[in-house]
Structure 1
């Protein structure tokens, strides 16, 4: 019997712990596991001759066959993660399911009101999940009930799923954290499983999900893995920051659903033998966080990717906002007569987030941030995210406050200058832990689901759409949260013009100009001491001094691109940049390469240290 089943398309599992072979990086899968993190079904001992044979086979025979006879699989291109031929872990038998800890669902079904009455979060609908039973397969219904444990659909799910199941193109607008991922994954899985005619393409990629960031791609893949657990489908992930060799290993096997970032996907379409032919069998294309795809400058890549894909396909485009460049892309991606779903009301930001601003003199900026963090971490089980405008500034702030707090507070950082492996492991730590601070750039601003974030701090000038998305990391799934934007007096007027119309109130924090934070003062003394040692030795800057120099250049570049918003000219920009260098502990502006100055259009502007 086992031999016949293997011929039916089941790959062998060469790892006796199925969890370690299917874990998607940077995401904690929502599966029923015991405290040790092992799949409960595989941890039950088998007895007798039959059990011994099963153990010797190392778990080759698939378990947890769905009601339609399928098996869900996931593949990953990340080292130490899923092998392309290995299986996703299965649900335990019914007799064991009651012993499993209750899973934490992706979406909170209700919250308690002030008088103890159940209060439905604004993004939840009155549509029960079982309303889909006549529209979706038994295997999908089983995953929603047993794996996700949902009772009701969110508004975006209730409105988008029935439309997408009909096969037409869809433009859907919904805030992050409201269930968009399942809103496009459920109809996608149904469309590709119900296709009656086999594709002429060998091992076609039937569905493609485009994600703007690696972290969001990993999260989508984890959600997809849970959804296809009882289906005979395979899901793969390809992103930048990972060896293409691992991607090629992935492509040796069947991949039904592929989640990808634009740059890596285009690379494969242009350079990987046979890959574009496999995409010729594409049935569904999804663009998730489409507005961010545009904001991050992926218009060219998206247009090129579309040129490789078949015109006869279904396209689902999900976005939180509708900027002009995205509206232009809609005409290219979607067919005429496409449907439109909008669950974003007039309220720009989540009404459950208390929003404040704090504007301080520039020379007090770093010290003020210290006091804001102290206030944000004063409550038990805090989870704080601090957003910076650039990766280099983010890294410097993380280094500053990591040294300032030492072992008294856990400080993490994620930004684009880090390796993908480091970003993945840090993301997992932040997701799992409490009483932790995360310094990050905008790689964490969209779509990434960090549970129970209590406070979001934004440092410096920010675009309105980005402000809203950053703020969306807290008060998710109906919970409350707080947000504060920290500005210096030089940028305050311009920044608040950009954010006009949002319910941002002055901060209640009692901070006085010139007030020094003792821990920050200590770190600034270390910077000055290290700078003196560097000058005395004649060596190139290292450590904190090097990080300060890189942050200076990054700060200068960011604000150089926002002069019009702030009403500055280039001379004022350089003066403020040089003040920034002193704020972070340097006695004078660090040296800049001549070509860097030229690229910024700052040639001839006095005050720069060119060398």
Structure 2
């Protein structure tokens, strides 16, 4: 069944106190204290259905108020339950979400409403800490509402068999498409198998993929469909169309060569010093690198840069989010770990330095701004060869307008290169970021647009401010051209030191140990054999000088193929986990 919230203009004016079935006075008071009076379309379309014991599948633009759309009915359903108030280990409600950050946010939003229930305890269950900590908390304090990620919740359910799910009233799956995309399908199915079929289920998502539809068929009974979209005009000549992005969001794209993107980014940041921005990158290594580099550019000294990505420890991620949330201005540099669910107030601008691998993530990224009817801006950087992405987004309900490039943007590549020559940390992070981006680009979901063999890696390396071009097996195998890259002359990369004296001392110790090992190996060799080899090498060099150009080219090609085969073997070993990333980079001469 379909309840299309987007087509009913009256929904925008409905107050929570006017919804049917009516809410308890405690809930209305909690809503008033939190500043909520008027329902958003998705709230007005969803809350009455869940409170009437209907299953729902909800498709709504990000930032439309989905969290409140399931928190309020969950609390009301529990209040009206025949099992209320519950026993300490009697679980009556479960909320699943794909990330720790989103689960934490849902937990915080829910607390003012859960606190209106007597003897009801909600517990946050996420990874990043020992499961024994959660188990001890549940055992000692009890739990009636579980909010968390599927992986950790499945572990808790498996280990704590005394938890009673027989009277479970409601299950919520938030960001359901992401739950499945992140590989949580097995855990979700296990959790569903442990829960009673006589329950209410709400499935919330910004996009209804086939996997989500299949999950709805398996876990919901005759669900009502709620769809809340925004009306948007892609240009003045076209009729308004259903958009999957907030109506107050102005979407742009900037077309620039790969070696010009960094300068355009810096120019944009300078012009938005007093604003609050999120800048998205493709990989964790890219976030680390640009976080370091941007902080070293003199014109950006007054801006606070806060990095966050999936390889950071959980407490560091939480501190970064808290710091950025409290700030009145600044820049959050991140990967897609911050693309969904995070409701950080006051975001003015979303900048996508790298388009996401998965085009479905685009709308989640830009949805961090223009939330709940507010205004916001977004821009995505594209190279000329990626221009078809604009059409793809428009087909997907994301109308992109052409943004203006700054013709007066200062060239920051010399500044980045100077920073790399002064500190080896910049040099090494730049190489790792570049390599990680190239590998991620090769795995892009829209390979018909982001064509691997057309990637202009020379210009890309210049844009990253690299001093030299790294040796990459992937590049050699596909014979990609390095045209557009100019290495820095007159500098020995090995002579560049870490500014951090401790790291530099460790590096020198490794270099010395390597030299001693090489000398030790030479000493073990047969001296007579060494003389013969040296003589043979001398004769070979002499013969090589007498070879024709074609003969030398043949020999060089054979040597290149031998090196390529060796690098390919190392690449396979890295993928299988037989050698570490650092060992792979060292043995291929990348760093």
Query: Normalising by the residue count of structure 2, what TM-score does the alignment of the two structures yield?
Result: 0.72
Alignment partner, residue 307 of structure 2:
413
Alignment partner, residue 470 of structure 2:
589
The reply on whether 1:476 has 2:357 as its aligned counterpart is: no
3-state SS in 2 of match to 1:152:
coil
Alignment partner, residue 138 of structure 2:
251
3-state SS in 2 of match to 1:278:
coil
Contact 1:288 1:318 in 2 (8 A): yes
The reply on whether 1:344 has 2:225 as its aligned counterpart is: no
Distance in 2 (CA, whole Å) between partners of 1:460 and 1:596 is 28
3-state SS in 2 of match to 1:483:
strand
Contact 1:581 1:589 in 2 (8 A): no
Contact 2:11 2:41 in 1 (8 A): yes
Alignment partner, residue 541 of structure 2:
none
- Displacement after TM superposition at 1:202 (Å): 6.6
Alignment partner, residue 499 of structure 2:
none
The reply on whether 1:153 has 2:39 as its aligned counterpart is: yes
Change (3 A) 1:187 1:564: closer
The reply on whether 1:505 has 2:393 as its aligned counterpart is: no
Alignment partner, residue 487 of structure 1:
382
Change (3 A) 1:198 1:461: closer
Distance in 2 (CA, whole Å) between partners of 1:564 and 1:169 is 34
Residue from 543, 551, 555 that aligns with 2:433:
551
Residue from 238, 242, 253 that aligns with 1:357:
253
Contact 2:305 2:332 in 1 (8 A): yes
Alignment partner, residue 115 of structure 2:
229
Distance in 2 (CA, whole Å) between partners of 1:414 and 1:311 is 39
- Displacement after TM superposition at 1:305 (Å): 2.2
Alignment partner, residue 9 of structure 1:
none
Distance in 2 (CA, whole Å) between partners of 1:551 and 1:224 is 39
Distance in 2 (CA, whole Å) between partners of 1:493 and 1:123 is 39
User: Which runs of structure 2 are paired with 1:501-580 in the superposition (5 Å)?
Assistant: 501=395, 502-511=398-407, 516-518=410-412, 521-531=414-424, 543-562=425-444, 565-566=447-448, 572=454, 576=457, 579-580=460-461
Distance in 2 (CA, whole Å) between partners of 1:215 and 1:122 is 33
3-state SS in 2 of match to 1:417:
coil
Distance in 2 (CA, whole Å) between partners of 1:367 and 1:386 is 14
Alignment partner, residue 61 of structure 2:
175
Distance in 2 (CA, whole Å) between partners of 1:340 and 1:259 is 24
Change (3 A) 1:352 1:225: same
Distance in 2 (CA, whole Å) between partners of 1:200 and 1:187 is 17
Distance in 1 (CA, whole Å) between partners of 2:248 and 2:204 is 23
Cα RMSD of the aligned pairs, angstroms, is 3.0
Distance in 1 (CA, whole Å) between partners of 2:459 and 2:37 is 57
Change (3 A) 1:456 1:355: same
Contact 2:307 2:333 in 1 (8 A): yes
Alignment partner, residue 461 of structure 1:
355
CA offset digits 1:359-406 (Å, max 9, x no partner): 2111222222211222333xx4x1011011222212221121122256
User: Which runs of structure 2 are paired with 1:198-347 in the superposition (5 Å)?
Assistant: 203-232=89-118, 233-252=120-139, 253-270=141-158, 272-274=159-161, 277-335=163-221, 337-345=222-230, 346-347=242-243
Change (3 A) 1:280 1:392: farther
Change (3 A) 1:281 1:402: farther
Unaligned runs of 5+ in 1: 1-120, 532-542, 602-606
- Displacement after TM superposition at 1:608 (Å): 12
Residue from 333, 342, 363 that aligns with 1:448:
342
3-state SS in 2 of match to 1:171:
strand
Distance in 1 (CA, whole Å) between partners of 2:431 and 2:450 is 23
Distance in 1 (CA, whole Å) between partners of 2:281 and 2:302 is 23
Alignment partner, residue 137 of structure 1:
24
Contact 2:63 2:371 in 1 (8 A): yes
User: Which runs of structure 2 are paired with 1:592-611 in the superposition (5 Å)?
Assistant: 597-598=571-572, 610=588
Distance in 2 (CA, whole Å) between partners of 1:561 and 1:245 is 37
The reply on whether 1:400 has 2:400 as its aligned counterpart is: no
Alignment partner, residue 107 of structure 1:
none
Alignment partner, residue 534 of structure 1:
none
Distance in 2 (CA, whole Å) between partners of 1:201 and 1:425 is 35
Contact 1:123 1:154 in 2 (8 A): no
The number of residues matched between the two structures is 463
Q: Judging by fraction of residues, say which structure has more helix.
A: 2
Alignment partner, residue 552 of structure 2:
none
Contact 1:591 1:609 in 2 (8 A): no
User: Which runs of structure 2 are paired with 1:80-159 in the superposition (5 Å)?
Assistant: 125-132=12-19, 135-145=22-32, 147-159=33-45
| More deviation, 124-133/368-377 | 124-133
- Displacement after TM superposition at 1:496 (Å): 2.7
Query: Normalising by the residue count of structure 1, what TM-score does the alignment of the two structures yield?
Result: 0.70
Contact 1:494 1:565 in 2 (8 A): no
Distance in 2 (CA, whole Å) between partners of 1:236 and 1:586 is 51
Unaligned runs of 5+ in 2: 1-7, 231-241, 474-566, 577-584
Change (3 A) 1:567 1:155: closer
